[in-house]
Amino acid sequence: MSTEIKVPTLGESVTTATVARWIRKVGETVAQDEPIVELETDKVTVEVNAPEAGTIEAIAADEGAEVEVGALLGTIGAGTGAAAAPKKAEPAAEARPAANPQPGVNPPPPPSGPVARTGHAPMPAAQKMMTEQKVDAAQVEGTGKDGRITKGDVLAFIEKPAAAPAPAAPRAQRAADAREERVKMTRLRKTIAARLKEAQNTAAMLTTFNEVDMGPVMALRAEYKDVFEKKHKGIRLGFMSFFVRACIAALREFPAVNAEIDGDEIVYKNFVNMGIAVSSPSGLVVPVLRDADQMNFPQIEGAIADFGKRARDGALKLDELSGGSFSITNGGVFGSLMSTPIINPPQSAIHGMHKIQDRPMAVGGKVEIRPMMYLALSYDHRIIDGREAVSFLVRVKESIEDPRRLLLDI
C-alpha cells in the first residue's frame, strides 16, 4: 500500500510553491519525518518530510514544477527498494537503416562531394560563356530541350544578384556568449523583484538623510559588552538593539511612520512589529520582531542573532516574514557608506543604517576625528510629510548620540 506525499499548508496567503529539489530519489529508502523534497515559496524554502518510513515509489511533480497546497508530490511504498524504471522502447527495426541489406553484400558507400544535377549538358555557346565566366554547370538551371543549359540561362545566372551572406556575429560577442550562463530566477528572487518594483510604482517614495556620531554607543558597548554577554548567556551586545529601540521611541512620537495605507484609509498601529532585513543564500529576507516595543535589549539582540542564523540555514518560518509595520536594513555590514533603501510594502517607511566611517567633525569649535554613520529614511510621501520624516530621523540621531535617553524613555 502506498502513502501519498502532498504539499503541506505553506502559510498565510501562500497557495503555491515550486519543487526546488528532490532530496531523495525513486528507489531510495527514507525514515519517517526525514526531509525528502524542498519546496520554494515566494518567501522561504520549505522542507517536506516523509509521512512514514518506506521507499520512494514514484515522483509526481518533477523539479521546477509549480504545485498548489494539497497537490500530490509523490508516493512512498513499503519495503527497502523499488523496481528499476523500465527502459525506453527501442525504435522499430524498420525505422533504422539496415546494417547489411543483403547477406554477404556490403552496401555501396554514400556519395561524396556535391551531387551534380542531371540534365545540365550545356549548349556549345553556353559552354563557352561558362568557361569564360568561370561558372559551374551544377549551379545553372537549364531551360532548353531535355533540360540543357542555354546561353540565356548562363546570362540569367550571371545577372542574378547573389544572396547576401548572413552577417557573422562579432568575434567579441561570440566569445562573451560562450562564457555566459543562464540560471532561472528563484521564486524568492522573482518575488523580491516584483515587490521592490511595486513599491517604486505605488508609493510616492522619498529619502531623507542625516548623520550620527556613533562614539557614545561604541563607548557604552565597549564598556559593558563582556558583562552583557556573560549575564545573558552568550548573547552579544551589538548596535542593532540601540537602533531598534531608537526607532521605537521615534515611532511613538511620529505614528504615521508606523502606519500604512489601505484603500482610502490610513491604518495607525498601536504596536511595533519591526522588520529586520537579513541576508540569506537565496536573497534578502525580512523576518519580523513581533511586539518589538515590548522587548528589552537582550531579547532584541537574541532574536536578531537567531534570525541571521536561521536565514543562512534556510530555516525561517513563513509566519516570521509577514506582518511587519516598519523595517530596518543595515547596508553597513557590506561596506555601504550611503544608500536609499526601498520600502517594504505595505509598510510606509524603512530606516537605513550604513558603515561607520571616521571623519573630521567640528566639535565644540574644534576639529575632531569622530566615528560617523549616515542614516537614511525612505518614506511614502502620501502618508508621511517631510517634516515628520526629518523629525523622525533627528529623534533617532539624538537617541544614538545620547543612549541614556533610551534607558530613561525621554
Structure-block grid coordinates of residue 109: 558507400
C-alpha cell at 135: 561558372
Cell numbers 520512494 label which residue? 56
* Residue 385: active-site member: yes
Q: How many CB atoms lie within 10 A of CB 9?
A: 11
CB-CB neighbours of 400 under 10 Å: 24
Using alpha carbons, select from 373, 378, 380 the residue that is nearest to residue 340.
378
**Grid coordinates of 288:** 519580523
Task: Measure Cα distances from 4 to 30, 56, 69, 79, 135 in Å.
Answer: 14, 10, 14, 15, 73
Could you give the CA distance from residue 277 to residue 228 in angstroms, rounded to a whole number? 24
Q: Which of 232, 319, 381, 402 is catalytic?
A: 381
264 carries an active-site annotation: no
CB 352 within 8 A of CB 329: yes
Q: What span, in angstroms and rounded, lies between the C-alpha atoms of 22 and 38?
A: 6
Given 136, 226, 319, 385, which residue is catalytic? 385
Residues that are catalytic: 381, 385
